[in-house]
Structure 1
Amino acid sequence: MRKFFMTCFIFAIISSLILVGCNQNKSNTENSSSDQNKSSSEAPASGPITINKEISDDQLILSKGPHGETAVSAKTLELTEEEIAKIKQGNYKAAIVMHYAGNDWSTAQIDGLKATFERMGIEVVAVTDADFKSEKQVSDIETVLAKNPDIIVSIPVDPVSTAEAYKKAAESGVKLVFMDNAPQGLEHGKDYVSVVSADNYGNGVAAAEIMAEKLGGKGKIGVIFHDADFFVTKQRTEAFEKTIQEKYPDIEIVARGGITDPNDGEKVASGILTKNPDLDGLFVVWDVPAEGALAAARTAGRDDLVITTIDLGTNVALEIASDGIVKGLGAQLPYDQGISEAILAGYALLGKETPPYVAVPAYKVTKENVLDAWKLVYHKEAPDSIQSAAK
């Protein structure tokens, strides 16, 4: 009997060890799976901070800054490990004041900023969304200032009506880094650190070239532009129209319609299509109103229409991957733009000289490269729906 109990005891110990081993393996497997599912957009844990090294070094940047400044490529920006360590010692705080946070572009900018600030040991104390309302943004700035940030990264809804609020922030000692545009009357080096933008002119050129290719170099097209004093959207439309007029004389721009709200795309596109039933193509200034234009085209039974735009949002990417009505676009690289803005904020904290205008290169996107483009733009694989459509 004693031998029997001893055998059972040994068996129980062995079983426990096996179960512990299995649970450990399961834990390791789950951790490994979790690691694999982590977005590759997370900032590297060590080494210098730069934008994505896969972005071309020799990409020509066509945009000029809001005051006509020649662009400095974001590829030239870098924080060394020693500089990062020095910044961490300051226990700095930052706030992100957006014009609008309801699209993929804004989300990627914010993600890039947050990941880079975390790497720099900078606490993000606020992220605000003005919903394209300048009075809301002025209020947001006042609210954010009460949190005593050392840095504000922002994109002005309107460069005139928000200028006084930004000036107040600058006078209080906050380091201001702007996305895309600078408020009126503020001076580089005195009131703000730098303006960081995509190559919006280059993206407008890309959208025009895709339009011309898909139309075989001839046809009638319309343009939906941003009817607001917004520097970068003006650049896109100017680049698109000038490229069409100078390079493709057999393509005629026969209709133009302006939007002040991104949700007006469907209404404006519907009006254009009603008045121009023989329209061959439509350029829309960014992806959210382009989604409205897409809906208008479908309602009108115009599956043959060619739409091009700017910004690689989820819905237009799915349409491109499906070889649908949206045939291609010029993509900004918003995650890397966010990294660039954080680096420049670091420059200011270190007392380093900063260029007045920095640009991230443009990127042409069509069905052939939409999956690679998504990974470059967002630093992670495309959603399953887009991958399936691309196949």
Structure 2
Amino acid sequence: MNKKRSRSVFLVSAALAVALMSACGANNNAAGGSEPNNAAGNTANGESNVAAPPAVAEPIMVNQALPQQEILSTGPHGEAAVSAKSLQLTADEVKQIQGMKLKAAIAMHYAGNDWSTAQIAGLKDTFAKMGVEVVAVTDAQFKSEKQVSDLETVMAKNPDIVVSIPVDPVSTAAAYKQAAQAGAKVVFMDNAPEGLQHGTDYVSVVSADNYGNGIEAAHVMAEALGGKGKIGVIYHDADYFVTRQRTEAFEKTIKEQYPDIEIVDRSGIAGPNDGEKVASAMLTKNPDLDGLFVVWDVPAEGALAAVRAAGRDDLAITTIDLGTNVAIEIAKNGVIKGLGAQLPYEQGVAEAILAGYAALGKETPPYVAVPAVKVTKDNVLDAWQLVYRQEAPNAVKDAAGQ
């Protein structure tokens, strides 16, 4: 496992030259373009701004410059992962799909971060190449009851495709099953609702290598602490397999590979806005903490605020997801030392390709994943390019001294 500590830094650097060339031919709105925070809102009312499909159909695939490494995560039912890099629509298949005049709806769990913005951008860009009209994008604001209502609303538009990430795998299950029974090809991000069957109720689940990202976050923590210290873990207190995998991987790696680092406290968050409150309570209870692992970047921003309020800028935070604010903190060698990054734009590309497979009647794997990427101060700008297919924002470049 020690070799995995540096695998992503090396692979990102090696892949960057190819990634840059690939990105030049891609839509540069990977993280939302000129309006990065409004990607979900632009079509929430059902208005579609999809461009006409290209006159010449071209093959569609996930960025082939992504790191070529073992994917360690398994699917929601223990399925082995198929690499997203293996997915492809040929030019002839794209032309067939363009002729179908399909409609798609995107139902997000939460659209207020860079991950969601990039995922939506990957879907929109790829659907545009396929001639698929996006008729709605919704934001459930992390509320399962709103997501059920959102699904009812978008199904009234008779979409052929629904791409969604369920807020809760239990309470939303019936709504997704109804969508499938109405004829929609349902593709999931990250998780499958309880009781739904691959091939019958949904096309596939597409995720990051969340287990691998948890491992990378653990290695970053160990490097920041010099291999010893006391840390706390802030996990997602919900039945959500991707966030559970991250935490399990982080804790297992710390316990097995870094015996001089002790996990002295664990606390759960119910949603993205709970990070500051939970971190503040943990710091009050454990004033001698040396580090915090926070399960994703938005609550990590809250934890950062709590650390600063406590006057503990000497503490190290690691997390998952490369959002703008955490990237700035990493770039300036601040409290957040690094993270394991997902590849949300490429997830969106893979989800759109799988929807195309379903439209064509092609067999689809139950679980598809993109690789993990380790991000530290040393490679934060290169990693941003790989994750979002565009240069880092000026605020991140400024923080990195460029």
Q: Same fold (TM over 0.5)?
A: yes
More helix by share: 1
Check 1:191–1:37 CA distance in 2 against 1; reply closer, same or farther (3 A cut): closer
Q: Measure the CA separation in 2 of the matches of 1:243 and 1:230.
A: 20
Amino acid at match of 1:69: E
Q: Measure the CA separation in 1 of the matches of 2:96 and 2:58.
A: 14
Amino acid at match of 2:59: P
Match of 2:306 in 1: 296
The answer to whether residue 165 in structure 2 is matched with residue 155 in structure 1 is yes
Q: CA deviation at 1:38?
A: 7.1
Check 1:214–1:344 CA distance in 2 against 1; reply closer, same or farther (3 A cut): same
Q: Measure the CA separation in 2 of the matches of 1:325 and 1:173.
A: 49
Q: CA deviation at 1:149?
A: 0.1
Amino acid at match of 1:209: H
Amino acid at match of 1:168: Q
Amino acid at match of 1:362: A
Aligned match of 1:333 in 325, 328, 343? 343
Aligned match of 1:250 in 238, 257, 260? 260
Aligned match of 1:50 in 47, 53, 61? 61
Q: Measure the CA separation in 2 of the matches of 1:47 and 1:148.
A: 27
Aligned match of 1:61 in 68, 71, 84? 71
Q: Bigger radius of gyration, 1 or 2?
A: 1
- Count how many residue pairs are aligned between Structure 1 and Structure 2: 356
Amino acid at match of 1:206: E
Q: TM-score, normalised by structure 2?
A: 0.86
Match of 2:229 in 1: 219
Q: Measure the CA separation in 2 of the matches of 1:206 and 1:195.
A: 23
The answer to whether residue 96 in structure 2 is matched with residue 86 in structure 1 is yes
| 1:1-391 paired onto structure 2 within 5 Å | 39=28, 41=30, 47-57=58-68, 59-391=69-401
Q: CA deviation at 1:259?
A: 0.5
Amino acid at match of 1:375: Q
Q: Contact 2:26–2:389 at 8 Å: present in 1 too? A: no
Q: Measure the CA separation in 2 of the matches of 1:39 and 1:114.
A: 12
Check 1:344–1:37 CA distance in 2 against 1; reply closer, same or farther (3 A cut): closer
Q: Contact 2:289–2:315 at 8 Å: present in 1 too? A: yes
Unpaired runs of 5+ residues, structure 2, are: 1-23, 34-50
Check 1:249–1:287 CA distance in 2 against 1; reply closer, same or farther (3 A cut): same
Unpaired runs of 5+ residues, structure 1, are: 1-34
Spell out, residue by residue over 1:163-182, the C-alpha distance to the aligned partner (whole angstroms, 9 max, x if none): 11111111111100000000
Match of 1:9 in 2: none
- Aligned-pair Cα RMSD in Å: 1.7
Percent identical: 74
Check 1:135–1:50 CA distance in 2 against 1; reply closer, same or farther (3 A cut): same
Spell out, residue by residue over 1:303-327, the C-alpha distance to the aligned partner (whole angstroms, 9 max, x if none): 1100000000000000000000000
Corresponding residue SS for 2:89: coil
Amino acid at match of 1:195: V
Q: CA deviation at 1:47?
A: 3.1
Amino acid at match of 2:67: S
